[in-house]
Copies of this chain bind each other. A is one copy, B any other.
Amino acid sequence: MLLVIVGQQKLVRSLSIEGATFMKKLINSPENVVREELEGMELAHGDRLKVSYEPFYIARKDAPVKGKVALVSGGGSGHEPMHGGYVGKGMLDAACPGHIFTSPTPDQMFEAGKAVHGGAGVLQIVKNYTGDVMNFDLAADTLREEKIQVESVLTDDDVAVENSLYTAGRRGVGLTVLMEKLLGAAAEERRSLAALKKLGDEIRASGRSMGMALTPCTVPHAGKPSFELGESEMEVGIGIHGEPGRRRVPLVPADEIVAMLMETVLKDLPFKSGESVILFVNGMGGTPLIELYIVYRKAAQIAAQHGLKIVRNLVGNYITSLEMAGCSITLLRANDELVQLWDAPVNTPALRWSI
């Protein structure tokens, strides 16, 4: 085989050679990725979680929790630990995984909601993607036919683009993780469905995010990278499915990247001097933790320069795009109530603490 590449070498983890596609992934077959992951999660966390395979969903082992509003989320797979890793006491009651980067179906959401409903209603946490929104709406209608009260909270925190390949309006990204933690804690307090809906809408209005990518990722079914980036390029404002961002620009040092993201996020709400915030620096899956702390460092410095007080933080790979290298930054205004909900005990595979 002779490859001739003019200009720039591609950064990929897959290549088709003589008709055969090699993907550098620890999988058995693209068809079975989600099922086998669920089997692995059940084997690893069966003490706390139960898994339904027809249709796919992950639920709290002790669900339904009587008298508690049941929190149900879901979305395409490939963003792990979101959402399955956030099922457990203090966070979600159920999560519905779609195929990689593909919305789950209404029957998954319906069956999950029905299974975990504890008599106090179901709150759906939905990232703003057209498929997710439509299917959660259909599931909500079907749940209501079963006399189950349903409300939905949307996340659309990505300031990068107003509309995108997969959305009308802004995309739901990093804020979703914070939303699930905060509403999960509030639900444990036995707040009503209406109160949780109101709180969720307030959180939605108070958080903003933006991300960037150094490399693409490869969806197993596609067998090739979702996009291409030159060796000295990055994509600013990227979505979590590799959908295009705001602009493709030359790679610059981390501090400049963080300044770009922070300035855009800060101006959007806008965040004002004197406010308290939760600062969430997220890795896209293929970014070493050492780099995320370098990002956190600059983000915290910029936040301080703008007079913001960081009252809580989260640093790590929490909402990812498979093996994509890159990061996102989320800021959320946090009053005392949100701080107390953040600190409340949580026991899930991916987030776990006590007071």
- Which residues of B lie under 8 Å from residue A186 when comparing CB positions? none
**Per-position 1/0 for A152-184, Cβ under 8 A of B:** 000000000000000000000000000000000
Asked whether B290 lies within 8 Å of A33 as measured between CB atoms, the reply is: yes
Asked whether A44 lies within 8 Å of B315 as measured between CB atoms, the reply is: yes
Among A62-70, A110-118, A201-209, A294-302, the one that faces the other chain is: A294-302
- Chain A residues 288 to 327 lying within 8 A of chain B, measured CB to CB, are 288-297, 300-301, 313, 315, 317, 320, 322-323, 325-327
Asked whether A231 lies within 8 Å of B22 as measured between CB atoms, the reply is: yes
- Which residues of B lie under 8 Å from residue A296 when comparing CB positions? 40, 43-44
Copies in the complex: 2
Contact of A323 among B34, B81, B287, B345 (CB under 8 A): B287
- Which residues of B lie under 8 Å from residue A26 when comparing CB positions? 214, 254, 257, 287, 291-292, 294-295, 326-327
- In the bound complex, CA of A296 to CA of B349 (Å): 14
Asked whether A251 lies within 8 Å of B24 as measured between CB atoms, the reply is: yes
Contact of A36 among B33, B231, B297 (CB under 8 A): B297
- Counting chain B CB atoms within 10 Å of each CB, the highest count among A3, A9, A291 belongs to A291
Asked whether B300 lies within 8 Å of A15 as measured between CB atoms, the reply is: no
Residue of B nearest to A17 (CB): B231
Asked whether B29 lies within 8 Å of A253 as measured between CB atoms, the reply is: yes
A181 to chain B, nearest CB (A): 14
- Which residues of B lie under 8 Å from residue A322 when comparing CB positions? 288, 290
- In the bound complex, CA of A288 to CA of B77 (Å): 11
Q: Which 8 A-B pairs have the closest CB atoms?
A: A40-B293, A40-B297, A354-B354, A26-B291, A80-B289, A24-B214, A22-B232, A43-B300
Q: A5-B9, A28-B253 are in contact. List 13 more A-B contacts (CB 8 A).
A: A3-B5, A22-B231, A25-B214, A26-B295, A26-B327, A33-B290, A33-B294, A37-B294, A40-B295, A40-B315, A80-B293, A286-B286, A289-B320
